[in-house]
Amino acid sequence: MARGQMVLVVVLVGLAVAAAASGGRGGRGKSARLQLLPAAPGSSLAERARDDRRRHAYISSRLAASRRRRAAETSLSAPGAVAASAFAMPLSSGAYTGTGQYFVRFRVGTPAQPFVLIADTGSDLTWVKCRGPPPRVFRPGDSKTWSPIPCSSEMCKSSVPFSLANCSSTTAACSYDYRYNDNSAASGVVGTDSATVALSGGRSDRKAKLKGVVLGCTTAYDGQGFEASDGVLSLGYSNISFASRAASRFGGRFSYCLVDHLAPRNATSYLTFGPGPDSASSSASQTPLLLDGRVRPFYAVTVDSISVDGEALDIPSEVWNVGSEGGTIIDSGTSLTVLAAPAYKAVVAALTKQLAGLPRVTLDPFDYCYNWTTRSGDLAVPKLAVHFAGSARLEPPAKSYVIDAAPGVKCIGVQEGAWPGVSVIGNILQQEHQWEFDLTNRWLRFRQTRCTQ
């Protein structure tokens, strides 16, 4: 898997979340969090842009396959009763490790073993490395709660993508061989185990166990993107993903806040399942979340228009229509935003018109870069806004779309995608916003914030 790219892998589901807090009752009103870690400036934006193009091709091919399978698929049922508790995990940028992804700290096994996984809203399989140099390798034999899933089981046959159909025996473990379009791969066996999380609120030492987490134990992998992490945490919408199963037990929702991808190494935010710290904020905008077979496991939204300095751009409506092979997804695994060709051309035309006074610079693979040191006075970057259905409006800071690409050089950080084809709002455009995915009520809520707590 290419550097900075976090293509998808699959997690079986059976996530029975048992919030048994150690050292006391796993009480109501408690919450727990997973810390998000950012991805760092170690890789150039040019490398990330190339990786994003590969990922976009992967997304397009997967969505095409989803459309073909749609008639045979069963819709994911609505989550069960709302739980009163929540948990959260530390999340941070991976930039200082040379990737364009965000990393989450994840503890699995009994006793718990710590790992750093890529947080990916386009993945439906959670997996960790089971081979390589210690200590960041999962040893299933050392976990008292690890249980292989038999390859003869219905779960293996119908729920594990890229599972290997041939069973050497009825008790052999379920195997997978996941191949990506950039020639990277991951293979291993699938089982279930327990994840340990810290409850949010109250005492900082309260823990909870999530039992029966479906986990891929990857014994062979290939691709630079996997070098900086220990695996993938699946945040996609699927009946086998970690996000769908965990959210169904914790209020039917999850949220994350992405710090600036070039923030200091220790800048940390959180991936939260259940009510987040700002879940009741009146300042949040919301738009319907599209959760159906045409886009699964991705999260789609309806874009009404894009404006620059308050002027709506002339973009055909079918570009934003999932039914016309267009549409827009929110993807934490893509760095730069990718717009279908008609939208891309309209956006860059509006932005470049107001940046025309600056000298152009060639910086592969970007199309529009400028020598920013030659600007006279305070050059105002045109104001970009994405208008979603329901009157929700995303107004990212200028640094999220006219980005620092090299010393003294800024580039329009948007890439051109194929048309027909899906548009992708990447993690740089999402940064410094809180995003809540309400899977029960099918809403996406967001609000601007610095993310650090």
Catalytic residues: 120, 331
Residue in 280, 291, 332 with CA at minimum distance from that of residue 86: 280
In 3-state terms, what secondary structure has residue 154? helix
DSSP 206: -
Q: Give me Rg for the CA atoms of the chain.
A: 21
Please tell me the total number of residues recorded for the chain in this structure: 453
Residues 6+ apart with CB under 8 A from 230: 115, 116, 117, 128, 129, 136, 137, 138
Helix, strand counts (H, E) of the chain: 5, 28
Residue in 42, 39, 43, 33 with CA at minimum distance from that of residue 105: 33
Residue in 293, 224, 272 with CA at minimum distance from that of residue 451: 272
DSSP 125: B
User: How many CB atoms neighbour CB 395 within 10 A?
Assistant: 14
The Cα–Cα gap between 282 and 436 comes to 13
Q: How far is CA 409 from CA 41, 218, 349, 370, 377, in A?
A: 15, 40, 19, 6, 16
Written as six digits, the tokens of 368 are 């529009």
The Cα–Cα gap between 116 and 279 comes to 26
Residue in 83, 80, 110, 2 with CA at minimum distance from that of residue 46: 2
The Cα–Cα gap between 431 and 261 comes to 7
Could you write out the DSSP letters of every residue in 305-357? EEEETTEEP---GGGG-GGGT--EEE-TT-SSEEEEHHHHHHHHHHHHHHSTT
